[in-house]
């Protein structure tokens, strides 16, 4: 069995999930890079809902710009020729100035959403490092473009505002160290990637440098890891993880290293949902892109109440959400994203402590529904919690509630109005709420 598949090679690393991460139900992801200059993608749809053979030429992920413009005949390639005369991608690194970047203002906004942790991209697939990464020469944000250690600035501001800090790193794809043709399918993403010992050393030194400089609590790798490092011994992932945990017992690693080891699993939009077991995290943008996409409007952007329901759904199934913001090249979080985040934050901060320890309801006494939208949780002391959306339902909502709660007592936690339980029916009347569903506790 190859080390890649053999779980016993990694089993000595296994330990309980750190308490802070078990309680953390919401984090902020940041995708910021040279791709924020063109900031353009077709808002095709959600990952997992768009067929693979359509996805790549019409990629809704603006951070994939450098790949999409190399696919002949794609709308992005045509537009890149028209607007930029086919200029080399690295021109965007110099044009990216981050002149209005205010890390403290970002951190204030993130804290207002009730986020527990923040994870910025430190190197995405385009290979541009957002810090002075070893081996990158001048091709990083310290020497070109923003002329600044963006990773350090974000780490410091986020911690000053009381949140944990993690790092996203693209170990699987780096379009600057390889000259593969553009990726046109999911299968090609798996195949056409650097796997050799030289790239393993390069990437490993990057992640080690991130750990040494910024002491992150999360190592969030993407796509895969060069196969040469999937083993134990010197210059291996096993060694990286052991050292990381030794330095930071609170540290966690995600599941995108291409090995049978992870502290938690990830899913993305509607893809990978079969991985949602044990400790898991779903991630997505507020719209259909991670990197800022100027094309996205209200239509493709989740509103505050929609975000609140999205998180409610994730938490009711035992997960957490890493919600992405895509700043502009100037360094501002677009107004359309801020509006949704502020609204969501007003709702989430009121339920955050409850969510930290709540668990899915397992005894079948209640069922989630879409019409009316309802989700359920249970507290450690056996209370039931209902999340009930009343949009367009001025007369309130009645849903079935069984088990020990069928004759319980209801009390509103969010929303003004009334909540009662009679004969196995929970009735909630609050009128529509501006930022998220009504939240009701039912004691036995
Ligand atoms: C993906 C994408 C990407 C994004 C991401 C976030 O696999 O390639 O652009 O960074 O994962 O989960």
- Tokens representing residue 268 in the block: 């993305």
The secondary element (H helix, E strand) that includes residue 210 is helix 197-214
The average confidence (pLDDT) of the chain is 96
Cα–ligand 1 centroid distance for 170 (angstroms)? 9
Return the residue whose CA atom lies nearest to atom 8 of ligand 1. Answer: 223
Question: Which residue of 44, 290, 324, 326 sits with most ligand 1 atoms within 8 Å of its CB, as the best mutation to test the pocket?
Answer: 290
Report the percent of the chain where pLDDT is more than 90.
93
CA dist 85 and 44 (Å) reads: 24
Concatenated DSSP letters of 152-198: HHHHHHHHHTT-EEEEEE-SS--TTT--PPPP-SHHHHHHSS--SHH
Residue 351: CB partners within 8 Å, gap ≥ 6?
Answer: 413, 414, 439
Q: Residue 3: is its pLDDT beyond 70?
A: no
**C-beta separation of 345 from 286 below 8 A:** no
- Tokens representing residue 130 in the block: 């957002």
Cα–ligand 1 centroid distance for 168 (angstroms)? 10
Q: Which of 127-131, 409-413, 428-432 has the lowest mean pLDDT?
A: 428-432
> What pLDDT, on a 0 to 100 scale, did the predictor assign at position 431?
78
Average pLDDT over residues 267-293: 95
Q: Residue 19: is its pLDDT beyond 70?
A: yes
SS (H, E, C) 321-351: EEEEECCCCCCCCCHHHHHHHHHHHHHHHHH
Q: Residue 395: is its pLDDT beyond 90?
A: no
Cα–ligand 1 centroid distance for 29 (angstroms)? 11
Looking at the CA of residue 283, tell me the nearest atom of ligand 1. Answer: 12
Q: Residue 104: is its pLDDT beyond 90?
A: yes
What are the residues facing 397 on neighbouring strands?
428
Tell me the three state secondary structure of residue 377.
Answer: strand
Q: Which of 404, 415, 400 is nearest to 443 (CA)?
A: 404
> Which residues of the chain does CATH 3.20.20.80 include?
3-357
Indicate the pLDDT class of residue 275, thresholds 50, 70 and 90. Answer: confident
- Please compute, for residue 354, the number of CA atoms within 13 A of its CA located in the half-sphere on the CB side: 24
Sheet strands side by side (includes 164-169): 252-253, 218-221, 164-169, 117-123, 26-30, 320-325, 280-285, 265-268
Domain boundaries 3-357, CATH class: alpha beta
290 CB within 6 A, ligand 1: yes
Q: Residue 358: is its pLDDT beyond 60?
A: yes
Cα–ligand 1 centroid distance for 424 (angstroms)? 44
In degrees to the nearest 10, what's the CA dihedral of 11, 322, 269, 149? -100
In degrees to the nearest 10, what's the CA dihedral of 405, 406, 412, 414? 70
Looking at the CA of residue 168, tell me the nearest atom of ligand 1. Answer: 10
> What pLDDT, on a 0 to 100 scale, did the predictor assign at position 294?
98
32 CB within 6 A, ligand 1: no
Handedness of CA 150, 155, 161, 164 (dihedral sign): positive
The secondary element (H helix, E strand) that includes residue 245 is helix 237-247
268 CB within 6 A, ligand 1: yes
Say which DSSP state 416 is in.
S
In degrees to the nearest 10, what's the CA dihedral of 70, 72, 76, 81? 90
Helices (H), 290-442: 304-316, 335-357
Peptide bond into 401 cis (omega under 30): no
169 CB within 6 A, ligand 1: no
Cα–ligand 1 centroid distance for 140 (angstroms)? 20
65 CB within 6 A, ligand 1: no
Indicate the pLDDT class of residue 363, thresholds 50, 70 and 90. Answer: confident
Cα–ligand 1 centroid distance for 122 (angstroms)? 13
Question: Which residue of 31, 52, 61 sits with most ligand 1 atoms within 8 Å of its CB, as the best mutation to test the pocket?
Answer: 61
Q: Residue 1: is its pLDDT beyond 70?
A: no
283 CB within 6 A, ligand 1: yes
> What pLDDT, on a 0 to 100 scale, did the predictor assign at position 178?
87
Question: Which residue of 268, 288, 326 sits with most ligand 1 atoms within 8 Å of its CB, as the best mutation to test the pocket?
Answer: 268
CA dist 242 and 219 (Å) reads: 13
Residue 100: CB partners within 8 Å, gap ≥ 6?
Answer: 330, 331, 332
CA dist 230 and 259 (Å) reads: 7
281 CB within 6 A, ligand 1: no
CA dist 31 and 227 (Å) reads: 26
222 CB within 6 A, ligand 1: yes
Cα–ligand 1 centroid distance for 222 (angstroms)? 7
> Which residues of the chain does CATH 2.60.40 include?
369-443
Average pLDDT over residues 76-94: 98
Cα–ligand 1 centroid distance for 121 (angstroms)? 10
Residue with more model confidence, 6 or 147: 147
Average pLDDT over residues 115-133: 98
> What pLDDT, on a 0 to 100 scale, did the predictor assign at position 279?
98
Indicate the pLDDT class of residue 206, thresholds 50, 70 and 90. Answer: very high
61 CB within 6 A, ligand 1: yes
369-443 CATH fold: Immunoglobulin-like (2.60.40)
Cα–ligand 1 centroid distance for 376 (angstroms)? 30
Cα–ligand 1 centroid distance for 63 (angstroms)? 8
- Tokens representing residue 191 in the block: 């195949």
Q: Which of 266, 169, 178 is nearest to 209 (CA)?
A: 169
User: How many helices (DSSP H) and strands (DSSP E) are in the chain?
Assistant: 12, 16
> What pLDDT, on a 0 to 100 scale, did the predictor assign at position 2?
61
Indicate the pLDDT class of residue 276, thresholds 50, 70 and 90. Answer: confident
CA dist 408 and 397 (Å) reads: 17
Q: Residue 318: is its pLDDT beyond 80?
A: yes
Looking at the CA of residue 61, tell me the nearest atom of ligand 1. Answer: 9
Average pLDDT over residues 45-53: 92
Cα–ligand 1 centroid distance for 138 (angstroms)? 25
Return the residue whose CA atom lies nearest to atom 5 of ligand 1. Answer: 222
pLDDT tens, position by position, 132-186: 999 999 999 999 999 999 999 999 999 999 999 999 999 999 999 988 999 999 9
Q: Residue 234: is its pLDDT beyond 60?
A: yes
- Tokens representing residue 175 in the block: 């379009």
Place of tokens 């996205």: 296
Rounded to 5 degrees, φ, ψ at 271 are: -100, 145
């Amino acid at each position: 069995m190859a080390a890649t598949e053999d779980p016993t090679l990694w089993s000595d690393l296994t330990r309980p999930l750190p308490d802070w991460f078990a309680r953390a139900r919401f984090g902020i992801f940041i995708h910021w890079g040279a791709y924020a200059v063109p900031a353009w993608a077709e808002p095709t749809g959600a990952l997992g809902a768009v067929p693979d053979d359509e996805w790549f030429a019409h990629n809704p992920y603006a951070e994939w710009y450098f790949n999409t413009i190399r696919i002949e005949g794609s709308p992005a390639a045509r537009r890149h020729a028209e607007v930029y005369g086919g200029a080399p991608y690295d021109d965007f690194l110099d044009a990216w100035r981050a002149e209005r970047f205010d890390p403290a203002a970002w951190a204030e906004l993130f804290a207002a959403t009730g986020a527990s942790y923040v994870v910025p991209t430190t190197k995405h697939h385009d290979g541009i490092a957002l810090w002075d990464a070893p081996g990158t020469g001048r091709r990083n944000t310290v020497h070109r473009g923003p002329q600044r250690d963006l990773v350090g600035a974000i780490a410091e501001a986020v911690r000053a505002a009381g949140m944990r800090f993690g790092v996203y790193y693209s170990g699987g794809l780096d379009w600057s160290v390889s000259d593969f043709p553009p990726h046109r399918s999911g299968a090609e993403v798996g195949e056409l990637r650097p796997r050799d010992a030289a790239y393993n050393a390069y990437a490993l030194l990057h992640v080690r440098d991130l750990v040494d400089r910024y002491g992150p609590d999360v190592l969030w790798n993407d796509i895969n890891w060069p196969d040469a490092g999937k083993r134990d011994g010197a210059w291996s992932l096993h060694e990286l993880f052991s050292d990381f945990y030794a330095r930071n017992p609170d540290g966690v690693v995600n599941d995108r290293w291409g090995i049978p080891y992870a502290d938690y699993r990830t899913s993305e939009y509607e893809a990978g949902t079969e991985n949602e077991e044990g400790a898991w995290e779903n991630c997505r943008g507020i719209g259909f892109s991670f990197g800022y996409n100027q094309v996205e409007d209200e239509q493709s952007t989740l509103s505050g109440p929609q975000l609140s329901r999205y998180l409610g759904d994730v938490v009711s199934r035992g997960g957490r959400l890493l919600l992405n913001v895509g700043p502009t090249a100037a360094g501002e979080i677009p107004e359309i994203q801020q509006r949704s985040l502020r609204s969501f934050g007003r709702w989430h901060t009121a339920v955050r402590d409850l969510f930290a320890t709540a668990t899915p309801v397992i005894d079948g006494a209640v069922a989630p529904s879409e019409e009316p939208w309802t989700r359920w949780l249970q507290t450690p002391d056996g209370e039931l919690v209902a999340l009930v959306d009343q949009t367009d339902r001025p007369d309130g909502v009645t849903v079935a509630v069984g088990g020990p709660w069928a004759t319980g007592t209801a009390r509103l936690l969010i929303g003004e109005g009334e909540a009662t339980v009679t004969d196995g029916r929970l009735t909630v009347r609050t009128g529509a709420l501006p930022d998220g569903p009504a939240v009701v506790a039912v004691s036995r």
